[in-house]
Structure 1
Amino acid sequence: MARTPEGIIEDHLLKQCKKLKFMCLKFTSPGNTGVPDRVIIGNGQTVFLELKRPGEGPRRLQEEVIAEMISHGAAVRVADTKDLVDELLAEIIAGSVRVPAPKPLRKARLFTPRPPDITGRLRDQLAQSLPTATPAQVDELMTAAGNTGRALTSAGPRPLTTSATP
């Protein structure tokens, strides 16, 4: 069976690591996608390596995971040619692997939590507590409640008043 272009690069990596007596471990992290393919340990250095077919770069998720790993101080590289593998191994031999400065994540991919959707739950509770109300009446109550909430919010906090009852 013919090897994929990425597989050929991986075979080269494994052969070179074996020759140099470096550890080259397949890296998997169950439940976490986008992690690099390999971990190379040699000459007192540890490097995570993502292998790609020639001319191909990491997917967006892989870029994000790599950026996060780098921000935590990990040395991570991407190689899409045998020459890049050889350059990385030369860095490890020289003891000169450095962690690059972290790149900021793309803003469009940052997670922004959405506020909980209470409107649907409120509508359901109104409909259940008023079984004879029509959907139009429930909508009318929802609109009135929304308007009241907005009016109270825009008015700001009101001082507490106490009333004396005889």
Structure 2
Amino acid sequence: MLEKQIERKLCDEVDKLKGMCLKQNGIAGIPDRLVLLPNGKCAFVELKAPGEKPRKLQVIRMKQLQKMGFSCFVVDSTVAIKPVLDMLMGGEP
């Protein structure tokens, strides 16, 4: 499965929850998508093809964001999307 297929599925699932899945551009290492959900829930999501890992700069940026209190996730399969969104919405993964 390609990264763009996983990204499309994430955006579709966020849309179903009446949220926004914003593409991040311009700052090296920032996760691919900013997911905004109802009731002020938000997280950064780095998308990868199955089995791929974030680059060193991406890991550094996610740690910086987490230190500021933001949630960051790496998603490398469509199966991983539901647990991430459930966690953000306050449910069990």
With structure 2 as the length reference, what TM-score do the two structures score? 0.88
Does residue 57 (structure 1) correspond to residue 53 (structure 2)? The answer is yes
Inter-partner Cα distance in structure 2 for 1:58 and 1:22? 25
Q: 1:90 aligns with which of 72, 86, 89?
A: 86
2:15 aligns to what? 18
Amino acid at match of 1:64: I
Amino acid at match of 2:68: H
Task: Give aligned pairs, total.
Answer: 91
Inter-partner Cα distance in structure 2 for 1:89 and 1:74? 15
1:41 aligns to what? 36
With structure 1 as the length reference, what TM-score do the two structures score? 0.51
SS of alignment partner, residue 18 of structure 1: helix
More strand by share: 2
Q: Superposition RMSD on alpha carbons, in Å?
A: 1.6
Relative contact order, higher structure (CA 8 A, sep 6+) = 2
Q: What is the Cα deviation at residue 93 of structure 1?
A: 2.3
Amino acid at match of 2:42: T
Q: 1:74 aligns with which of 70, 75, 79?
A: 70
Ranges in structure 1 where 5+ consecutive residues have no aligned partner = 97-166
Q: Deviations over 1:43-79 (max 9, x none)?
A: 3211000000000110011011111111111111110
Which structure has the bigger radius of gyration? 1
Q: Contact 1:51–1:78 at 8 Å: present in 2 too?
A: yes
